[in-house]
């Protein structure tokens, strides 16, 4: 069998229009690494790697296997057909917004991936989940009503025929069977493809519809944006309609007649740290030994976290960098992890637990009744919505609630993000295999004297050995 070679660069990687649905993709031969045109849009899917067995040189390569994202591909078909009918069955506001965003004469056009993600969320939230599919005028759907009913219960849908315990779902199931089901809709978008603009589009859709239908609970007038740190929180302030540099004005997201509706809605942007439980001894900004308020109920927790948003249930939640929000297993998979990897996993799992538990508590806090969700649905936005090593899920497995997918390779082929350059050898012009696993390759070549006490290589030695790659 010929030696597998790394993927070879192409002269013109951009083969699709960023403002239109992709109509081509690059295909790569596993044995030669050479590229050819696929002739149609790449189906949504993900790659996972298995180590090859053989010599030390062979271990530098991996056997790549691919699996489809079935729910994403089915929804692509249905949303494409819905788009061709000018969004038949959608509300008047939604149809106007979707047309407005797709206008060819826009000064600032939206990427197709942004529009498709927004269309998919709106299609599910407004048409399919509320059971209004008949409004579209279609009799049959790629994602059937039976499929959808199972997805909304967290049970295996009929299209998921693979006999595994992993299947698509629109529910993030809690270990507590009595808990209200938390709906999650995941949008995978490459870094640089405009996730913040997408969030603004979804907020505009919700607020404009609610403004035209003030009594409706289908369209939230309150949005909680959750993010991982202060830097991201500051960057996301453009999602607040009252902000001087808000994206609704900068990107001309809303027709003039609907703009007043934006000011009637509320957007709260918070770090996940805000979900940490407050001390039972805290009163105001201070802690007192004599104060003992008892643990926070979901209602008290929601009032503290949501502030002005409390009482506007149900709300919409946007999870920026949503790959940090996952439900850790009862016993993490620590086998075979180094001390450094264990520490990283513990930190990630702690953050994920606080984040998802906080959402669950808000979901239970609807004052209209404990059987009514406080969260209409969550939208997760991430370039890497995959489970990590040690999480007890197979490393690299995608979150099961993904509904749209536009990854890095798609973004490169559409000219949306910068094109990476690969280091090549002087003799063959092909990528140098040692750079594919640079850290492992460096450690293999070091002598005992080049390690620090405790087993770590000396920094200056690593820097010297990495010069070629740099």
Do 365 and 389 form a contact (C-beta atoms < 8 A)?
A: no
Q: Is the pLDDT of residue 86 over 80?
A: yes
Q: What are phi and psi of 108, to 5 degrees?
A: -115, 100
pLDDT of residue 56: 41
What are the pLDDT digits (tens) for 27-41? 888 777 788 999 999
Do 397 and 333 form a contact (C-beta atoms < 8 A)?
A: no
- Please report the sign of the dihedral spanned by the C-alpha atoms of residue 200, residue 204, residue 210, residue 211: positive
DSSP letters, 355-415, are HHHHHHHHHT--TT-TTS-SEEEEEEEES--BPPTTSSSPTTPBPTTEEEEE-HHHHHHTT
Average pLDDT over residues 330-347: 75
pLDDT of residue 428: 62
Alpha-carbon torsion, ordered 437, 442, 443, 445, to 10 deg: 130
- Cα separation, 387 vs 65, whole angstroms: 17
Give the burial class of 289: count Cβ atoms within 10 A of its Cβ; 0-12 exposed, 13-18 middle, 19 or more buried: exposed
Cis before 314? omega within 30? yes
Alpha-carbon torsion, ordered 440, 442, 448, 450, to 10 deg: -130
Q: Is the pLDDT of residue 286 over 60?
A: no
- Cα separation, 103 vs 110, whole angstroms: 9
Q: Decide the pairing of beta strands 171-172 and 182-189.
A: antiparallel
pLDDT of residue 1: 43
Average pLDDT over residues 257-267: 96
pLDDT of residue 35: 87
- Please report the sign of the dihedral spanned by the C-alpha atoms of residue 47, residue 53, residue 54, residue 57: positive
Q: What are phi and psi of 434, to 5 degrees?
A: -65, -20
pLDDT of residue 427: 62
Q: First-to-last CA distance in the chain?
A: 33
Q: Which of the 8 DSSP states describes residue 14?
A: -
Mean of all residue pLDDT scores within the chain: 87
Q: How confident is the model at residue 9 (pLDDT cuts 50, 70, 90)?
A: confident
- Cα separation, 156 vs 145, whole angstroms: 13
Q: How confident is the model at residue 63 (pLDDT cuts 50, 70, 90)?
A: low
What are the pLDDT digits (tens) for 365-390? 998 887 899 999 999 999 999 988 76
Lowest mean pLDDT among 69-78, 160-169, 259-268: 160-169
- Cα separation, 358 vs 429, whole angstroms: 52
What are the pLDDT digits (tens) for 131-179? 999 999 999 999 999 999 999 999 999 998 766 778 999 999 887 777 8
Q: Is the pLDDT of residue 281 over 60?
A: no
- Higher local confidence (pLDDT), 369 or 358: 358
Do 396 and 351 form a contact (C-beta atoms < 8 A)?
A: no
Global confidence as pTM: 0.85
């Amino acid at each position: 069998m010929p030696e597998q070679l790394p993927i070879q660069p192409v002269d013109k990687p951009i083969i699709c229009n960023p403002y239109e649905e992709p109509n081509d993709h690059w295909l790569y031969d596993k044995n030669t690494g050479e590229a050819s045109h696929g002739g149609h849009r790449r189906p949504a899917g993900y790659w996972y790697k298995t180590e090859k067995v053989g010599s030390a040189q062979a271990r530098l390569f991996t056997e790549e296997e691919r699996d489809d994202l079935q729910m994403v591909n089915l929804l692509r078909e249905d949303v494409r057909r819905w788009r061709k009918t000018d969004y038949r069955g959608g509300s008047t506001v939604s149809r106007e917004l979707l047309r407005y965003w797709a206008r060819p004469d826009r000064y600032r056009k939206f990427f197709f991936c942004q529009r498709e993600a927004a269309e998919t969320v709106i299609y599910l939230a407004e048409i399919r989940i509320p059971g209004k599919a008949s409004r579209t005028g279609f009799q049959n759907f790629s994602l059937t009503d039976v499929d959808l009913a199972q997805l909304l219960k967290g049970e295996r849908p009929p299209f998921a025929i693979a006999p595994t315990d992993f299947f698509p779902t629109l529910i993030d199931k809690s270990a507590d069977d009595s808990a209200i089901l938390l709906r999650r809709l995941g949008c995978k978008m490459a870094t640089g493809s405009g996730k913040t603009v997408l969030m603004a589009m979804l907020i505009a859709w919700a607020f404009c519809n609610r403004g035209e239908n003030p009594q409706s609970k289908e369209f939230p007038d309150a949005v909680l944006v959750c993010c991982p740190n202060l830097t991201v929180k500051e960057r996301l302030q453009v999602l607040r309609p009252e902000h001087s540099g808000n994206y609704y004005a900068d990107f001309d997201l809303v027709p003039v007649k609907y703009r007043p509706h934006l000011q009637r809605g509320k957007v709260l942007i918070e770090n996940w740290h805000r979900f940490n439980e407050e001390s039972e001894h805290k009163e105001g900004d201070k802690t007192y030994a004599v104060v003992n308020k008892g643990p926070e109920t979901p209602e008290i927790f929601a009032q503290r976290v949501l502030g002005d948003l409390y009482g506007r249930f149900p709300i919409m939640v946007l999870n920026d960098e949503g790959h940090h929000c996952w439900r850790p297993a009862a016993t993490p998979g620590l086998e075979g992890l180094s001390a450094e990897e264990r520490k990283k996993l513990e930190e990630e799992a702690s953050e994920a637990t606080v984040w998802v538990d906080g959402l669950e508590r808000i979901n239970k806090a609807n004052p209209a009744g404990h059987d009514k969700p406080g969260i209409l649905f969550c939208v997760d936005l991430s370039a890497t919505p995959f489970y990590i090593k040690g999480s007890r899920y197979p490393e690299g497995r995608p979150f099961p609630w993904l509904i749209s997918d536009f990854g890095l390779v798609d973004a490169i082929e559409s000219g949306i993000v910068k094109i990476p350059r690969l280091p090549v050898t002087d003799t063959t012009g092909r990528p140098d295999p040692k750079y594919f696993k640079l850290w492992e390759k460096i450690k293999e070549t070091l002598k005992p004297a080049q390690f620090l006490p405790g087993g770590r290589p000396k920094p200056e030695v690593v820097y010297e050995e990495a010069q070629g790659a740099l």
